Amino acid sequence: MWKAEPLVLTPEERSELERRVRARTTPHRDRQRAEIILLASKGVSGLKIASKVGLSDQSVCKWRRQFLEFGLSGLNDAPRSGRPLVYGPTDRLVLMAKVTEEHPLVDSRCSHSSLAEAMAEVGISISASQIGRILASDNVKPHLVQGWLTRRDSPEFWERAADVCGLYLSPPENAVVLSIDEKTGIQAKSRKYETTPVQPGRPARCEFEYWPGIPIPDTSRY
Residue 199 φ then ψ, to 5°: -135, 160
d(CA 222, CA 214): 19
How high does pLDDT run on average in the chain?
81
User: 201, 139 in Cβ contact below 8 A?
Assistant: yes
d(CA 35, CA 17): 8
SS3 101: helix
**pLDDT of 127-139, one tens digit each?**
899 998 888 888 8
User: 150, 211 in Cβ contact below 8 A?
Assistant: no
Q: If pLDDT is split at 50, 70 and 90, which confidence band does 101 have?
A: confident
Q: Residue 217: is its pLDDT beyond 60?
A: no
pLDDT above 70: percentage of residues in the chain: 80
Specify the pLDDT at position 97: 87
Mean pLDDT of 187-206: 76
Domain boundaries, the chain: 11-75, 89-143, 148-172+186-212
d(CA 45, CA 59): 13
Containing 99, the helix (H) or strand (E) segment is helix 89-101
Instruction: State the pairing for strand pair 188-191/210-212.
Output: antiparallel
Specify the pLDDT at position 31: 93
Regarding predicted confidence, which is higher, 201 or 75? 75
Instruction: Return the DSSP state at 24.
Output: T
